Amino acid sequence: MTSSLSGKTALVTGAARGIGRATAIRLARDGAKIAINYKGNAEAAAEAKRLVAEAGSAALTIQGDVSVEADADRVVKEAVAFGGGRLDILVNNAGTTRDDLLLRMTVEQWDAVLDLNLKGAFLITRAAMRPMMKQRYGRIVNVSSVAGVAGNAGQANYASAKAGLIGFTKTVAREMASRNITCNAVAPGFVPTDLTNALIGQMQETILKQIPLGRFGTVEDVANAIAFLVSDDASYVTGQVLQIDGGMVT
């Protein structure tokens, strides 16, 4: 049986670790070639590439800060070349946190999070839309958060960026539908990663009481949802936000 993404090329930003790495591995298992974007951790990116190869697919690591326009354009250009002139799938996962209460939050903390989490998605998506429009096919998934749906104390910058991604998702979906390009978002709840471990560790019991399924999510839970949204099974799904939170936010 042919894998559902056989012959397709995917670019996953922030794919060296966490949700990005799990997504790269899952899409590789489904047959896609994977362009692994990372900002600074070359060792983690190399490990992600090894795991993608282990999953049975070709991989390319591409260093670049997606919040910088020249880097974003170059990352997409290299991914398209890797795909033999095509880029079928884009997963905007790159992100960061700078948590603090609003009264103590600095402009630098605000800008760092908005630049990478929201501006980065804009820059990469804008560059990726050109080859996708030319080939009249594309699947875009933005990794938002339940913080962008419901807010979260101490994360005004992060929640704002993730809420912005939801509006961005719905707008791209409307603009690109006529070219057979879909754009959806996933909104994970509490999923232990390098980005969230400190927060979860401090409040583990309190958080678990808020999750009806009674457990934290895994990076694989999120990767599975992304794999569905980029598959042919979701060809009539666009502009949607899929919450992967164990029922925490309804």
Q: Which residue among 38, 137, 158, 236 is the active-site one? A: 158
- The CA distance from 61 to 31, in Å, is 17
Quick one: DSSP state of residue 214?
-
> Which structure tokens are listed for 41?
């951790």
- Count Cβ atoms below 10 Å from residue 85 Cβ, excluding itself: 11
- With H, G, I as helix, E, B as strand and everything else as coil, classify residue 100: strand
Question: Buried (b) or exposed (e) across 188-209, using 16+ Cβ within 10 A?
Answer: bbbbbbebbeebeeeeeeeebe
Residue labelled with tokens 């709840």: 189
**Could you confirm whether 38 is annotated as catalytic?**
no
> Are 20 and 46 contacting, i.e. CB atoms less than 8 angstroms apart?
no
Give 133: exposed, middle or buried? Use CB within 10 Å, 0-12, 13-18, 19+.
middle
Residue with tokens 């890797």: 82
Task: Encode burial over 121-132: b for 16+ CB neighbours within 10 A, e otherwise.
Answer: bbbbbebbbebb
- Residue with tokens 């009264």, as numbered in its chain: 103
Half-sphere exposure of 217 (CA within 13 A, CB side): 28
As annotated, the active-site residues are 158
